[in-house]
Amino acid sequence: MRRARYLSQGTHEGQCVVYWMSRDQRTQDNWALWYAQQEAEKRQQPLLVVFHLEKSFLHAQDWHFSFLCQGLQEVEQTLFQLNIPFLLSRGTIQDHLIPLLKQLRPSLVVTDFDPLRIKREWKLIVSQAIPVSMIEVDTHNIVPCWIASDKQEFGARTLRPKIHRLLSEFLTDIPQIHSHPYRFSTILPPNEWPHLALLPPLSPTPGEKAAWEAFLTFFSNGIHRYAQDKNLPLANATSRLSAYFHFGQLSPQRVAYEISQSETISLENKNTFLEELIIRRELSDNFVFYQKNYDNWDGIPAWAKRSLNKHRDDPRPFLYTLETLESAQTHDPLWNACQKSMKKTGYLHGYLRMYWAKKILEWSLSPEEAIEKAIYLNDHYFLDGRDPNGYTGILWSIGGLHDRPFSERPIIGQIRPMTASGCERKFSTRAFIDWVEYLPEL
């Protein structure tokens, strides 16, 4: 299967196949888990799923952590019914995951693909510490990241034809896993769920079942207005699936496949949505995978650096500390509403995320500082934070990444401008501000 590739070659002696679930936390529509089951059946061996909860994994909010854990408890229950044990490893890679894997004596370790540096480092460490073959499967992108392109792409326009050429091969239905025929006989350590998992119900509801419900809601409603209304924050035309994608509780390929097969969705809505779901998402992964400075100044294009450098000494009429930004106390009511939306709900409409980030550039002493603040707030509050989409979106907004230059302005140079008056031309900012005010506190 072209979707799978070796991370390391090693021995194939062992008693089971392990699927190390690192990003895509679901039991169905999961190429990596499916591949692991195929391998286990070929070997007539049991299959185990392991999720490692790193001690240093910084969850900004208790409810982000709870979203993750509640989703995993659903995974545990489903896998139990499929005769596949689920193990939770808590602590550090070195002291907990690696000893656990050694104790399990796998003949093969299969894991899912994640372009983020920290995940790739973990996989490298594990593959060097245990003597078996490790395989990674990209079940997160439709066209596997390393097949779509072998380099950092300049923009959507250079990646798009490469993806489209491969869609007929990769945008297919996804085989489902079934009850596993080989049982694991060794006594396994019991899962000990963190106390946080017992928090009250969350909004949005975590887990695969809830993710599918959310998709069906969009599929029957928002998609039919998508092309026209996607940039209107109160129109309810967007999918709002990004948190489920981030935690891997819903497969982007499943969504893309169902949308593309539908006969009731207009071609314009279909193409507009698939452009965002496939091209833009996979461009973020391409950027994070091939650009090691995906979260700082060094990752932005040369023209943008040149232009921003020219404006370093421009006077800044407004300068805000991180604390002022975080507590939504700037002079700009629209920006404050954006910040309150992300704090109250862990979500902000995509169009306003760009406005939000661009203002931080105007209100900071340097672009470096702006990137740092935006990433801190993004990762701290968004339920879909710490995701390639977030880093790419922030560098697009502040650093002209994947974008073109525009006529020069103070402070922002040739970075594409966005203004409150521009937003006002497109929708009622007052209505958005009022709507945020009445959102319940979490």
Partner DNA sequence: ATCGGCTCGCGCAA
Partner DNA sequence: TGCGCGAAGCCGAT
Q: How far is the CB of 338 from DNA (least distance, A)?
A: 14
At closest approach, how far in Å is the CB of 275 from DNA? 8
* Complex with DNA: residue 8 or 330, whichever CB lies closer: 330
- Binding characters for DNA, 396-435, by CB under 7 A (x = yes): x-----xxxxxxx-----x-xxxx-xxx-xx---------
Among 284, 339, 378, 429, binds DNA (CB under 7 A): 284
Residue with Cβ nearer DNA (66 or 414): 414
Give the footprint of DNA on residues 137-166 (CB under 7 A): 153-158, 160-161
Q: 351 or 376: whose CB is closer to DNA? A: 351
Within positions 78 to 107, which residues make up the interface with DNA, using CB under 7 A?
Answer: none
Comparison of 55 and 157: residue with beta carbon closer to DNA: 157
Contacting DNA within 219-248 (CB under 7 A): 231
Which one, 246 or 280, has the nearer CB to DNA? Answer: 280
Query: Which residues are within 8 A (CB) of 246 and not within 5 positions of it... i.e. 6 or more apart?
Result: 383, 384, 385, 386, 387, 389
Chain residues 342-381 in contact with DNA, contact rule CB under 7 A: 350-351, 354
Question: To the nearest whole angstrom, how small is the minimum distance from the Cβ of residue 419 to DNA?
Answer: 4
Number of residues that bind DNA (CB under 7 A): 40
Contact segment (CB under 7 A) with DNA among 3-11, 210-218, 239-247, 275-283 equals 275-283
Would you count residue 290 as binding DNA (CB under 7 A)?
A: no
Q: Spell out a b/e string for 76-115, using b for 16 or more CB atoms within 10 Å of the CB, else e.
A: bebbeebebbbbbbbeebeebbbebbeebebbbbbbbbbb
Distance in Å, CB of 354 to DNA, minimum: 6
Residue closer to DNA by CB (options 257, 406) is 406
In b/e form, how buried is each residue of 214-234, taking b as 16+ CB within 10 angstroms? bbeebbeebbbebbebbbbbe
CB of 52 to DNA, least distance (A): 30
Residue 211 found at the interface with DNA (CB under 7 A): no
Judged by the rule CB under 7 A, the positions of this chain that interact with DNA are 153-158, 160-161, 231, 276, 280, 283-284, 301-303, 306, 350-351, 354, 392-393, 396, 402-408, 414, 416-419, 421-423, 425-426
